[in-house]
Chain A
Amino acid sequence: MPMQTVKMVITGPFSAGKTEFIRSISEIDVVTTDEGISAVSAEYGTKEATTVAMDFGRITVDDDLVLYLFGTPGQRRFDFMWEILAEGMLGFVVMVDSAKPETFREAKSILETFRAYAPTPYVVAANKQDHPDAWAPEDLRIALRIEESVKLLPCIATDKESVKNVLLELLYSILEEMDT
């Protein structure tokens, strides 16, 4: 029997936690294509490298089924990769850094862009909920104008159980979509 591969995309603004999300659940070391960031501050939440092409993680279900997780580059100058990564995806996760309102506008823009690529099911992960400045998920829903029918889930990308919950909710949404 040929191996079946299924793809999910993890997208979101710069520094939203996409790489961490995939790293927490992937059974292989995440394949990243990062480059250094010149101006680095020691402040909580800043990062030293950014994804330029994609992150790649894998979850093997059995001998004939594999789930691939692709993380998109956060910076706009690499957005030519988005559409390529979105092709054939089963669903997508939009990661939002709950503690950085300066990224909310871009999060909304990315969400709309991916919805336009493929109207597949998606969920929004309100990441960094352990940060003292994190906005509550219900406030993020209003701030990002996310419809009630779309799942907006609290998330901590470094916590495997939290990541599992986000992926499971996306899969449940896909099942619900199949039922309609």
Chain B
Amino acid sequence: MPLKGNLADFSITQILNLINLAKKTGILHVYEPIVTDETIRDGTGQERKKVMPGEERATVAFRDGKLILATMGNQDGHLANVLQKAGKLNIQQARVIRERGKKYSDKALALMLINANYATQQDVVRSIKQYTLDIVYDLANWEQEPFVLDENAAPSPARITVPIDLQNVIMEIGRRKDGDEPGIELPNLDMALKFPEDPGEKFRRVHLSVEEWRVVSFINPNNSIRQIAKACNMTETEIRRVVYSLLNAGLVELMKPPTSKQPARAAAGGKSRSAAQPPITVKRSVVERLIAKIKET
């Protein structure tokens, strides 16, 4: 079952979060939106124009939950172009390499360029990484393109891939977004935050800003997001942006509102028991009878 949808309903950040948490492998295809006369209804029953996929505009490849390569429709992603964009080759050099290197794979070409001292291995890796990231950051501004995630597909083995942690990509997209954009959703500033089950593993490779670390230091089931904002001297927009990014990077989880008034520092482990549930008013025997009846129905 391929994952299909539209960026209007499921943003690039949400897709990256899904791929990161589910450690997916595959290629995301993003298409030009063709608005049709046909109407569909969203979850509230509101009508809107149906959008069909047109020409492919971008592809993004993932392996085991990491970003490895991206291409934009109007750019061929040839290694010479990537290195030229990174300033490692001039226009003339890039043109000659493109013409003479047509029969070589990117990997073979990279080896020749390294051997000829045109670029170092580090130059190649850094240039491809930046080229890939630039495309994904560009994609993050798209808002109504249809997409399909072709699971388990892989880019051509001739291409050079560079594994990039998605948590950092998601955090950077969040930093680049304005907190008032419609894509930024946060249910309620009175909600609290907690760490996921394995926070150490998740935080190990992530690069956070000072502002983000300050928010993280106040994450505790007893602190509402509003209290954290106050403690960190942040506006509603600022805290919204940071929490949105942390949530999408899978670094924190939302939980029910706390009862305490004073913000406390982060608790080790972050595990908590949500507010006590009221007692269920029926007897256990009633539930057991319901189970027996449904089983025999």
Contacts and interface: CB of A to CB of B under 8 A. Distances in A.
Report, as a range, how many residues of chain A touch the other chain: 35 or more
Interface of B: 1-6, 8-10, 14, 17-18, 21-22, 38-47, 185, 187, 197, 247, 253-254, 275, 277-278, 280-282, 284, 286-295, 297
Is chain A's interface secondary structure helix, strand, loop, or mixed overall?
mixed
Nearest to A40: B39
Contact of B280 (A102, A112, A177): A177
Is chain B's interface secondary structure helix, strand, loop, or mixed overall?
mixed
A134 B2 CA distance: 8
Contacts of A167: 294
B10 to A, nearest CB: 5
Interface string A160-174: 100010011001101
Nearest to A108: B187
A85 interface: no
Contact of B287 (A88, A143, A147, A171): A171
Contacts of B253: 145, 147
Contacts of B17: 142
B286 A104 contact: no
Contacts of B295: 164, 168
A164 B294 contact: yes
Contacts of A28: none
Interface of A: 4, 6, 13-16, 25, 27, 37, 39, 41, 43, 46, 50, 59, 61-62, 65, 67, 74-77, 88, 90, 100-107, 109-110, 112, 118-121, 132-136, 138-139, 142-143, 145, 147-148, 160, 164, 167-168, 171-172, 174-175, 177-178
Given A133-B4, A142-B21, A145-B254, A61 B290 contact: yes
A171 B275 CA distance: 21
Contacts of A76: 44-46
B39 A136 contact: no
26 contacts: A14-B42, A14-B43, A14-B45, A27-B297, A39-B39, A65-B286, A74-B45, A75-B45, A90-B280, A101-B6, A102-B5, A102-B9, A103-B42, A104-B9, A107-B43, A118-B278, A120-B280, A135-B1, A143-B10, A145-B247, A148-B197, A164-B295, A168-B291, A174-B287, A175-B291, A178-B284
